[in-house]
């Protein structure tokens, strides 16, 4: 568990969680349990995604994948334990003005289950070999990448006792940013090296997976990522200047090269 959690990474999801609490004028320290919980969920999903029965990958965050070090059985159990730990941690969240600890647990459970992360992964597996439509590809990315990013933002906002209007704004920001993030990921998979990415480059092409570039080409994919980022930034208007950190992150994610 420690090997994968502390292997590095961008820590994007916990950062988004804390930034959302800040944007809603809350005490971001109250969002720390939620921020840690979403990182546990994210890391568990990476351990399981890398398994031979899934993506069969050897490199993650610049290090050998968990099952390459500890074996498949222990890697499965490490992922299972991190998934469970996420709910143990978020159970310590203090009730906010408008949201109970149970509300936050429900939010995380809904994201991690069959309607989002797991369901998206099933469709991702079934789509290997190509042939997915643009709508089906979007569903996969909405269910996996965008769902957990959105959940991170919503949990931060809930910890801050956000108004329904602010929560809705951050939800839209997360959905659009999450899709833009995945479009850029698809682009980087074919334009960067494994050393730069910290994970195996070119694996989507090797598995003949449908991606944004394979459907639309590089230039159109880049334009779509820029469009989604513009939609995300526009969604932050109800939050005013308090959302400046989220503005910066949206631009960073669009322009990143790893």
Average pLDDT over residues 173-188: 97
- Taking only the tens place, the pLDDT of each residue in 118-147 is 999 999 988 888 789 999 999 999 999 999
Q: CB under 8 Å to 48, separation ≥6 — which residues? A: 54, 75, 76, 79
By the 10 Å C-beta count (0-12 exposed, 13-18 middle, 19+ buried), 87 is classed as: middle
Could you tell me the two tokens for 167?
């929560």
pLDDT the model gives residue 151: 98
pLDDT the model gives residue 213: 94
Could you tell me the two tokens for 96?
């906010």
Task: Give which of 29, 15, 23, 28 is closest to 165, Cα–Cα.
Answer: 23
**What are the distances in angstroms from CA 128 to CA 8, 180, 189, 223?**
28, 22, 16, 25
pLDDT the model gives residue 120: 94
| CATH number of domain containing 232 | 1.10.600.10
- 165 inside domain: yes
Q: Are 173 and 59 in contact (CB under 8 A)?
A: no
- 5 inside domain: no
Lowest mean pLDDT among 15-24, 205-214, 219-228, 248-257: 205-214
Task: Give which of 103, 115, 169 is closest to 142, Cα–Cα.
Answer: 115
Task: Give which of 96, 112, 185 is closest to 144, Cα–Cα.
Answer: 112
- 258 inside domain: no
pLDDT the model gives residue 197: 86
- 150 inside domain: yes
- 132 inside domain: yes
How far is it, in rounded angstroms, from Cα 45 to Cα 39? Answer: 10
Q: What proportion of the chain, given as a percentage, has pLDDT over 90?
A: 86
Looking up tokens 């308090």 gives 242
- 3 inside domain: no
Task: Give which of 103, 91, 112 is closest to 42, Cα–Cα.
Answer: 112
pTM of the model: 0.96
CB atoms within 10 A of CB 53: 10
- Taking only the tens place, the pLDDT of each residue in 199-243 is 888 888 777 889 999 999 999 999 999 999 999 999 999 999 999
pLDDT the model gives residue 130: 78
How far is it, in rounded angstroms, from Cα 41 to Cα 4? Answer: 12
* H/E run at residue 60: strand 59-60
Query: Which range marks the domain in which residue 30 is found?
Result: 10-253
pLDDT the model gives residue 128: 82
Q: How many domains are there within the chain?
A: 1
């Amino acid at each position: 568990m420690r090997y994968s959690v502390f292997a590095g990474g961008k820590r994007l999801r916990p950062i988004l969680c804390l930034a959302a609490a800040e944007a809603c004028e809350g005490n971001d320290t109250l969002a720390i349990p939620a921020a840690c919980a979403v990182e546990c969920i994210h890391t568990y999903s990476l351990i399981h995604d890398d398994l031979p029965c899934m993506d069969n990958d050897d490199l993650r965050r610049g290090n050998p994948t968990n099952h390459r070090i500890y074996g498949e059985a222990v890697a499965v159990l490490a992922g299972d334990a991190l998934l469970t730990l996420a709910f143990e941690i978020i159970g310590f969240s203090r009730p906010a003005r408008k949201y109970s600890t149970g509300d936050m647990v429900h939010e995380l459970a809904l994201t991690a289950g069959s309607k989002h992360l797991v369901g998206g992964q099933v469709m991702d597996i079934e789509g290997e070999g190509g042939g997915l439509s643009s709508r089906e590809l979007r569903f996969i990315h909405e269910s996996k990448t965008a769902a957990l990013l959105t959940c991170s933002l919503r949990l931060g906002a809930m910890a801050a006792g956000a108004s329904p209007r602010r929560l809705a704004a951050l939800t839209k920001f997360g959905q659009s940013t999450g899709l833009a993030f995945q479009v850029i990921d698809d682009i980087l998979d074919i334009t960067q090296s494994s050393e730069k990415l910290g994970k195996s480059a070119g694996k989507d092409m090797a598995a003949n997976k449908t991606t944004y570039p394979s459907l639309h080409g590089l230039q159109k994919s880049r334009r779509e990522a820029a469009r989604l980022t513009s939609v995300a930034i526009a969604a932050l208007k109800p939050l005013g200047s308090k959302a400046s950190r989220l503005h910066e992150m949206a631009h960073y994610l669009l322009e990143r090269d790893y």
